[in-house]
Amino acid sequence: MRIPLSAPDITDAEIAAVTQVLRSGRLSLGPQLDAFESAIAQYTCTKHAVGVSSGTAGLHLAIRALGLKEGDEVILPSFTFIAAANVLRYERITPVFVDIDHLELNLDANMVEEAITPRTRAILAVHTFGRPAEMRTLQSIAQRHNLFLIEDACEALGAEYRGKKVGAIGDVAVFAFYPNKQITTAEGGVVVTQDSELASRVRSLRNHGRSNSGDWLQHAEVGYNYRLSELHAALGLPQLRRIDSILARRDEIALSYNKRFQSESSLIRPLVRDHYKTISWFVYVVRLRDEVDPSHRERIVGAMAAKGIACGRYFPPIHLQPAYVALHHRPLPISELAGARTIALPFFNHITEAQLDEVAETLRSLL
């Protein structure tokens, strides 16, 4: 693609940091990981951060560390990346999908309570596209029903809800650093929490369930190889140091797109400002209006690709995926409506004004 959907923002500082680790001979469980975890904890205003091999691994470990087990239920949106549901099924936990709100495309907090059953143990709130979920209401529901509140903040590093960083609101949260995220470690993620005991268990589980005795071959429980290497951590440190400028640039791009589409009546543009939420832009997603035939989306995406412009379809609802269709029976009309009409446009730090013009002009002409 001439204009990709996403692209990592790598500078000489990141290259130098990774090269230094390669020359050090210490490639795992070393000072770079310690420094990266400390920096993430400080940035997110949490007490503990545990680096892991991916956001998916982090979500899996969060579920395990909370003690959720077979037969439990967890409430989550269907309009999200499939990993959020997959990690539940790893543990034979039942995902209970709830619809999203039409405006922000986050979990509809008003519909969560009616989905709670005696088997419900947790709410998994996703900060979709970097926009914080309605955490005050979800916290209240979780406290009222004695449920865990898990934040899937994989798309939302730096976002804030009522002046508080996402990740520091629920019982545990997970961030991800895949190359399309705000900052990247190539592959990787981190689990953050205020709970020392929970953090200690996640730290053990990511490293084959090793005990805290210091004996490398002593294992307290069945664990996983979900470690984050020194190379990945070294890449993440200079990225995190630039997070403020990165987020400012992404906000600028989102505003620029919004201006270009302000007169396009067939599109729903994302909200770019909220009086009590700060968005951390992961992607810029427009939607065809509800009255537009959803088949137009496929023709538009195909035509854009033919012109060398990459677009995404975020997100096909999980409950409609072949691996899940037999497990779900609750109607989710907003999720299905949005899933058939979203178009993610090229969105990355180094996109140029000329590229933004070309994307916007091409999409308008196709509409």
Catalytic amino acids? Answer: 181
Residues 334 and 97 sit within 8 Å (Cβ to Cβ) = no
Residues 316 and 80 sit within 8 Å (Cβ to Cβ) = no
Residue tagged 């709830």 (tokens) = 98
The closest alpha carbon to 285, from 264, 250, 314, belongs to 314
Q: Which of the 8 DSSP states describes residue 115?
A: G
94's tokens: 């039942």
* Backbone φ/ψ region at 313: left (φ over 0), alpha (ψ -120 to 50), beta: beta
Q: Which amino acid is at 228?
A: L
Residue 48 CA to residue 172 CA, distance in Å, equals 10
Torsion angle (degrees, nearest 10) of CA 245, 250, 251, 256: 130
Residue 115 CA to residue 105 CA, distance in Å, equals 18
Residues 349 and 9 sit within 8 Å (Cβ to Cβ) = yes
The closest alpha carbon to 167, from 83, 22, 58, belongs to 58
Residue 172 CA to residue 138 CA, distance in Å, equals 14
Residue 363 CA to residue 304 CA, distance in Å, equals 7
Residue tagged 């509800």 (tokens) = 290
For the chain, state the CA radius of gyration: 21
How many other CB atoms are there within 10 angstroms of residue 242's CB atom? 16
In angstroms, the first-to-last Cα distance of the chain is: 21
Task: List for the chain the helix, strand, coil content (%; round to 5).
Answer: 40, 20, 45
In terms of DSSP bridges, do strands 284-288 and 172-176 run parallel, antiparallel, or are they unpaired? unpaired
- Alpha carbon distances (Å) from 319 to 16, 69, 119, 324: 44, 21, 20, 5
